[in-house]
Structure 1
Amino acid sequence: MDTIRNFSNRGYGLLNDEIFITGDTFNLAKKAVGGAIQAITSVVKNDINQSIALIRPPGHHALQESASGLCIFNNIANSILYLRKKLGYHKKIAIVDIDAHLGDGILQYFYDDPNVLYFSVHEYDFVEGDIGFIDELGEGEGIGKNINFPIPLNISDVDFFEFMDLLEPILNEFNPELIIIAAGFDLYFADPIGNGLLTSITYYKFTEKLLKLAENICEGRLAFILEGGYSLIGLPQCIYAVIKALLGEDYESPLFEQLDFPFESNRESIYKIKNSLRNLLIEYWSSFGGKKL
């Protein structure tokens, strides 16, 4: 924190050869954390059932000791620490991360924490380094609570939801009091950083599915915290789709998303990932009946 503050006071700086610091960075990053805290605590206190924090900079790459991957402070992790330290809230929390990239910062914060489930759906190209594989399941008391579901590049609307076959029973068994979505939208087909082929209707359907799960598990307590997403066309469209789903309203994709995009299904590859991951998880989750596929 002191490094970010000092760079901002000076007016400029470069961290890790990738994060440019300006005179506004420190205050903006603090406000991003504050926005996430507000969105999450409002749900925890039952002021509202669902929330969405439209904040920048994102946070899920930020580590405990340093900024990383365009992220200054870890918005979600710091929100959970706030709940614990300031509100005495030590109940179980599930984090579902749908950003194109692994939230290695969130993983680091809670890798041995039995009360935080982290389920990440991310692309194969591990820009975070040598982490993000299916056999990284947590450690100590948190073993089995860190779940990586790596997906092939060029994932399409047709194949995206395969991970739900694992996520749904795990969420039901874990039975959290709160579900947080690390809402990255860089798997959108027009995103300049991600490699996905998703359209906004998939984010609408995902929100519908998670909202239904939250209603059955934790009285609807669901908080979306914005992470990645860099398409000036796609980001607002995807956020709009999420909000429509949270409001229980119908949504139709814009015409430019309804074109027939050429793609090859990755279904066979995703099946292999899903079954391999399931076979690793049966030791920790009774939902899978203890039988390998």
Structure 2
Amino acid sequence: MNRARPWRPLLGLMLAFGFVVTGASAAQLVIHDGARRTEIDTAALLARPDRAEVAIERDQAYGGATRYQAVPLAALLESFPTEDPGGTLEAAATDGFAAQIPLSVVRSAGPDAARGWLAIETPEAAWPSLPGKPVSAGPFYIVWERPAASGVSPEFWAYQVAALRYVASPARRWPQMTVEAGLPADHPARVGQAAYTAICLSCHRINGAGSADMGPDLNRPMSPVEYFRIPALRRYIRDPSSVRTWPDQKMPGFTVEQLSDPQLDGLIAYFEHMAARRPAR
């Protein structure tokens, strides 16, 4: 919840239908599962027969409509299969962001499902800088068609991607982030754990659990519910700059479309639950 992803209209047809030439360099994408590792460079990705120009109606990073040279994410990963269909694809970025994308979402198929693409910034047609940043979304950016169809989190639009890692689900990988096993199945904290995994874990750790290094741990040494009044915390999650601001602020707000009111209620319940389960250091 700490990586700035502002929404704003794109500036003319330059971004919507073709990017300005600025001389981006070729890059390497790493795919690995802990035991095996492969590297694919920009040229190899662009040479794939399934490369296509994909139109994105509402780009999460740039806003508005965009077009990219891209390869289907699921097809790219077929050449590097995993034996854990219930696992996670960790999209690690150069700035410490690490999205945890369920493989079930990556592999969703059909006209009524979301479809992920790996957009490729080419040396001949570099992308513009991100709004408010001195760098573009390249060299690789995961974009989605029909994201709402499969519940794609805004944090699954990972940009500046350097590596794709097959990993276990976050709950299996980091049991210290899970709620008490005896909680009822419909307890709000369980809803909150799911929301935390999809949105917050990309930037923040909790009880040391996580791969991201962008934001602080949200339970050590204190939980947000211990230093925020609940109304202020709700407002902060929705619109951080309305509560406090500073020059290097990165955390965006989350709209009701991105984080529903029941999910927000669950997230606060999760913070309260985890505050009571903080492990001794």
Q: TM-score range by the shorter chain?
A: under 0.3
Would you tell me which structure has more strand in proportion to its own residues?
2
Would you tell me which structure has more helix in proportion to its own residues?
1
TM-score calculated relative to the size of structure 1: 0.26
Larger RCO: 1 or 2 (CA < 8 Å, sep 6+): 2
